[in-house]
Amino acid sequence: MRELSVIEAVREALFEEMARDPRVLLLGEDVATLGGVFRASEGLLERFGPERVIDMPMAETGIAGVAVGLAMRGLRPVAEIQFADFIHAAMDHLVGEAAKMRWRTAGDWTCPMVIRTAYGGGFRGGPYHSQSVEAFYTHAPGIKVVAPSTPADAKGLLLAAIRDPDPVLVLEHKRTYRLIRGPVPDGDVVVPIGSAAIARPGNDITVLSYGMMLHESLAAANALAGEGIDVEVVDLRTLLPLDRTTILRSLAKTRRLCVVHEDTLTMGLGAELCALAAEAGVLEVPPVRVAMPDLPGIPVDDVLEDAVLPNRATIRAALVRLAGAVPAGSARRRAYDASIPQASSVVEIALPEEHTRAALDALVVACRAVPACNASFAWSGIVNHAQVVVDCDFGPAAPARGGGTITLIDYGREGADLAIPFVRPGQTAALRIGAVRDGRAFVACSVDHRAVDGADVGRFLAAFTTELERARAPETVHAG
């Protein structure tokens, strides 16, 4: 067992497999004389010669097409695409030919080729050298897709990919090349394609990740261990086919899922992983995805790049939220729903004895001015209501019936000068008008503090009192 970097492990796998199997050859841009843009193939030209280590023109379509032809003629080509950003030029050969070869020939032909490419951000490569492309190719049946995170897996999965009878896309996160070091077993140790690994055991939450984001997830999980949150981190290693057994076994234990990937959020691999968990019915709370926002590319500016990429801080924040989520239908959830965290504010206003109609009208105006006070709180989100429906509680003779979107309480002269109303379940605000004394009254507003903040309460009461004052102003008569 030695300690290697990821790039050293990749290079060792290429050396050993080319020495073991004379059918293996390497082709790509600058892979021979230069030794690869990241030096993954350094020394291979001197060891195996130009017939097996071949510099190709700057044409990804040609690299992939030649690799398909070589594979169909019985060789084991390893084609390098310098950056994953440029692999799309070769998509027709990969998805249209290589992926379909076994299926469309009923097994008469296979296409045992490997495409290696460097993907991912954080390398200051800007929008044309930083893409994560896994979602495109995990959508293509017939291709296997692996994404090693550690040096041992970088070597073991590459060995498995070269020996596989079908096309394999090997995604190597460029930041891990020299940043991540770790033990690599001596000898011919192959990591099976389609097998995930438990990178950190835990009991509270399952994190599914790969590549550089695995290491950020591990850092977040280790930080939370001291706070009593025990996170299990699963290194997917293979993205297609997924190791459903390992994933579901972990989720059956933790019942909570967080998926972390560097690719953009919409239609990313995380969506498929969340669907897998949902269809299995193993989650007690909704899953969480931590991913890059839906931007066309990585920003050129270093500060902006760091801001859009997931990191251990954003992952930790997501895990804390997930740990505190309350299962729907549980006794704890029912207790949470019944116990609304209230905040209240009180103002004193000028008010006549007869004010009910004006108060109702002013309440509608205030609700429209501050929709957060005419809403319903749900754990899945806050729902603002299009219409204002007031539950009017005018005392024992006319109690509120319920079903409205906000509550108005006014017991008239028999009521208390000042009393704090309770927010009803399904609403976010309640208003209580105290007894009018000498033309003035206290108005108290209570809100569900999960949905309405103090600034909203202030705006709501200001809109309410302004409308009442407008209603009380004498009408202006215009001659004409």
User: Using one digit for the tens of pLDDT, what is the confidence trace for 252-273?
Assistant: 999 999 999 999 999 999 999 9
Q: Is the dihedral of CA 175, 178, 183, 188 positive or negative?
A: positive
Q: Does residue 474 surpass a pLDDT of 60?
A: no
Note whether 114 and 78 are within 8 A (CB).
yes
What would the DSSP string read from start to end of 176-213?
HHHH-EEEE-SS--PPPTT--EEEE--SSEEEEE-THH
End-to-end CA distance of the chain: 100
How deeply is 414 buried, as exposed, middle or buried, from its count of CB atoms within 10 A (0-12, 13-18, 19+)?
Answer: exposed
pLDDT reported for residue 418:
93
Pairs from 197-201 (Cβ < 8 Å, separation ≥ 24): 197/153, 197/234, 197/235, 197/237, 197/246, 198/232, 198/233, 198/234, 198/235, 198/246, 198/250, 199/149, 199/233, 199/234, 199/235, 200/231, 200/232, 200/233, 201/232
Note whether 44 and 14 are within 8 A (CB).
yes
Cis peptide before 241 (omega within 30 of 0): yes
Give the chain's length: 480
Distance CA 130, CA 127 (A): 6
**Residue 10: partners with Cβ closer than 8 Å, 6 or more residues away:** 40, 116, 154, 155, 158, 172, 177
What is the share, in percent, of the chain residues with pLDDT greater than 90? 83
Note whether 255 and 325 are within 8 A (CB).
no
User: Using one digit for the tens of pLDDT, what is the confidence trace for 123-132?
Assistant: 899 999 999 9
Please identify which residue in the block is written with the tokens 């309410």. Answer: 464
pLDDT reported for residue 476:
39
pLDDT reported for residue 479:
37
Q: Does residue 57 surpass a pLDDT of 70?
A: yes
- pLDDT confidence band for 475 (50 / 70 / 90): very low
Distance CA 410, CA 57 (A): 82
Tokens representing residue 263 in the block: 């690719």
- Nearest residue to 431 via CA among 355, 378, 380, 377: 355
- DSSP H/E element including 274: helix 269-280
Distance of CA 381 to the CA centre of its chain: 17
pLDDT reported for residue 478:
39
pLDDT reported for residue 353:
87
Please identify which residue in the block is written with the tokens 């509680």. Answer: 393
Residue 232 phi, psi dihedral angles, 5° rounding:
-95, 125
φ/ψ region of 109 (left if φ > 0, alpha if ψ in -120 to 50, else beta) reads beta
**What does the pLDDT average to over 15-38?**
97
pLDDT reported for residue 399:
72
**What does the pLDDT average to over 355-371?**
95
- Nearest residue to 78 via CA among 4, 163, 146, 19: 163
pLDDT reported for residue 452:
94
Distance CA 370, CA 405 (A): 13
pLDDT reported for residue 401:
73
pLDDT reported for residue 338:
62
The mean pLDDT of the chain is: 92
Q: Among 17-21, 45-49, 377-381, whose mean pLDDT is lowest?
A: 377-381
What residues does 240 pair with on adjacent strands?
145
How deeply is 248 buried, as exposed, middle or buried, from its count of CB atoms within 10 A (0-12, 13-18, 19+)?
Answer: middle
φ/ψ region of 36 (left if φ > 0, alpha if ψ in -120 to 50, else beta) reads left
pLDDT reported for residue 335:
64
pLDDT reported for residue 158:
98
Instruction: Please state, as a whole number, how many other Cβ atoms lie within 10 Å of the Cβ of residue 336.
Output: 14
User: Using one digit for the tens of pLDDT, what is the confidence trace for 389-438?
Assistant: 999 999 877 777 778 999 999 999 888 999 999 999 889 999 999 999 99
Distance CA 415, CA 205 (A): 51
Distances 161 to 24, 140, 156 between C-alpha atoms, Å: 12, 17, 9
Note whether 113 and 25 are within 8 A (CB).
no
pLDDT reported for residue 16:
97
pLDDT reported for residue 123:
85
Q: Does residue 381 surpass a pLDDT of 70?
A: yes
pLDDT reported for residue 408:
95
**What does the pLDDT average to over 59-64?**
96
Task: Tell me if the pTM is above 0.75.
Answer: no
Instruction: Please state, as a whole number, how many other Cβ atoms lie within 10 Å of the Cβ of residue 474.
Output: 5
Q: Go through the domains of the chain in sequence order and give each one's CATH number.
A: 2-184 (3.40.50.970), 197-325 (3.40.50.920), 337-472 (3.30.559.10)
What residues does 183 pair with on adjacent strands?
3
- Give percent helix, percent strand, percent coil of the chain, each to the nearest 5: 40, 25, 40
* Catalytic site positions: 129
User: Using one digit for the tens of pLDDT, what is the confidence trace for 299-340?
Assistant: 998 999 999 999 999 999 999 989 887 676 676 666 666 678
pLDDT reported for residue 380:
64
Distance CA 28, CA 56 (A): 5
